[in-house]
């Protein structure tokens, strides 16, 4: 005990912890001298009093464990210079700075040139509907059976049936919807007539109802389109996308458009039910703006130009 620094704070702490032990000893001493306890008060056993006295002494003994002074504590400072350099390959990389690409047109087209262009109807493409239809029986055949007799799985049947129903919907939409590029914008029309045979002159084009998301007409001007694309690729487009600013801004956050973190316009999505190559050709021909999409080829060419 004498090896530690004994201060006034240590003395007060020891004294306060010793008081309960002292009073417990006095109570034990008085109880042991009584021969008969008063009526109405239960008799306290000697073993209980001994246990209480032992716990009090243990609590008091902790008061005499002196706490070393703060001056005795030693601190070790870290030496930054001792840290090895180049811990990883990213230490010398600059911080990421988000950059926004600017939409550009494939070719500049004047309004007069657009007015002289003929209206073009994009032909349908049934490839997406056929691919989804083939997935139906493939899922039914490939899904494992959980039955002892090896009968077809109900999960496979329902999954394959759903794809067949969806393929039927895509087939009908492909046959009855046409995209028409006109003088100042493009619009989606419905085909109305016998067998929906518009290509042979047996049916006609009628205007579609208003867009169910934005509540506007399904027609968009070329000058208001700021981007368009095809997913997953132009060779097999499942979803076609474009963004325009013609829709009022207060309608930009409706439905799935609310997930667009960039904002700056109203996005639209439709399945690849038309000839995408013709669609892209008309967009470029009429000077519709689009953000450049980086590819492996364009990235390699950009690196070569920077080295030069």
7/70 Cα distance (integer angstroms):
12
Tell me how many degrees the CA angle 253-254-256 measures, rounded to the nearest 5. Answer: 95
> For the residues 34-56, what does the mean pLDDT come to?
53
pLDDT on residue 13: 61
Show Cβ contacts of residue 57 under 8 Å, excluding neighbours closer than 6 positions: 21
Average pLDDT over residues 82-99: 57
- Both tokens assigned to 122: 């994009």
Instruction: Give the strand pairing for 177-181 and 185-192.
Output: antiparallel
Contact (CB, 8 A) for 225 and 282: no
Task: Supply the pLDDT for residue 118.
Answer: 94
Residues 6+ apart with CB under 8 A from 39: none
Mean pLDDT of the 78-104 span: 61
Determine the pLDDT at residue 21: 61
288: nearest Cα among 249, 242, 231: 242
Contact of 146 with 210, CB cutoff 8 Å = no
In angstroms, rounded to a whole number, what is the distance separating the alpha carbons of residues 302 and 282? 27
Helix (H, G, I), strand (E, B) or coil at 295: coil
- pLDDT value at position 202? 87
Q: Which residue did the predictor score with more confidence, 298 or 133?
A: 133
More confident residue, 148 or 266: 266
pLDDT value for 283: 96
Q: Which residue has the higher pLDDT, 89 or 161?
A: 161
In this predicted structure, the answer to whether residue 2 has a pLDDT above a threshold of 50 is no
With CA atoms as reference, report the closest residue to 229 among 279, 185, 183, 187.
279
How many H-runs (helices) and E-runs (strands) does the chain carry?
Answer: 7, 10
pLDDT for 184 equals 93
Quick one: tokens of 82? Answer: 């001792």
Please report, for residues 129, 166, 221, 273, the alpha-carbon distance to residue 137 in angstroms, rounded to integers and kept in the order given. Answer: 14, 13, 42, 22
- Highest mean pLDDT of the ranges 78-82, 188-192, 232-236: 188-192
pLDDT for 4? 45
Higher pLDDT among residues 304 and 71, named by residue: 304
207: how many CB neighbours lie within 10 A of its CB?
12
pTM of the model: 0.63
pLDDT tens by residue, 248-303? 888 887 766 666 666 688 889 999 999 999 999 999 999 999 988 766 666 777 77
The pLDDT value given to residue 292: 80
Q: Could you give the percent of the chain with pLDDT greater than 90?
A: 38
pLDDT digits (tens, 9 = 90+) for 153-211: 888 899 999 999 999 999 999 999 999 999 999 999 999 998 888 888 889 999 998 88
């Amino acid at each position: 005990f004498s090896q530690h620094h004994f201060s006034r704070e240590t003395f007060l702490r020891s004294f306060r912890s010793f008081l309960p032990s002292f009073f417990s000893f006095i109570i034990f001493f008085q109880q042991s001298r009584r021969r008969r306890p008063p009526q109405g008060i239960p008799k306290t056993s000697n073993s209980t009093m001994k246990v209480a006295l032992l716990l009090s002494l243990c609590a008091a003994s902790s008061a005499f464990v002196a706490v070393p002074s703060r001056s005795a504590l030693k601190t070790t400072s870290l030496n930054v210079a001792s840290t090895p350099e180049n811990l990883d390959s990213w230490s010398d990389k600059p911080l990421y700075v988000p950059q926004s690409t600017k939409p550009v047109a494939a070719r500049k087209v004047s309004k007069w040139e657009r007015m002289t262009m003929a209206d073009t109807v994009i032909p349908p493409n049934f490839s997406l509907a056929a691919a989804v239809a083939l997935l139906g029986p493939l899922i039914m055949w490939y899904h494992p059976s959980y039955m002892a007799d090896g009968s077809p799985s109900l999960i496979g049947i329902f999954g394959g049936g759903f794809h067949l129903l969806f393929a039927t919907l895509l087939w009908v939409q492909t046959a009855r919807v046409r995209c028409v590029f006109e003088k100042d914008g493009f619009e989606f029309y419905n085909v109305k007539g016998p067998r929906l045979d518009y290509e042979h002159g047996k049916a006609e084009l009628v205007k579609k109802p208003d867009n169910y998301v934005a509540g506007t007409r399904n027609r968009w001007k070329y000058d208001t389109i700021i981007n368009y694309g095809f997913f997953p690729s132009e060779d097999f487009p499942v979803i076609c996308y474009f963004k325009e600013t013609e829709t009022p801004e207060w309608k930009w956050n409706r439905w799935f458009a609310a997930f667009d973190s960039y904002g700056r316009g109203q996005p639209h999505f439709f399945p690849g039910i038309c000839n995408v190559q013709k669609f892209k050709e008309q967009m470029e021909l009429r000077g519709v703006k689009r953000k450049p999409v980086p590819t492996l080829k364009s990235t390699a060419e950009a690196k070569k130009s920077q080295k030069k």
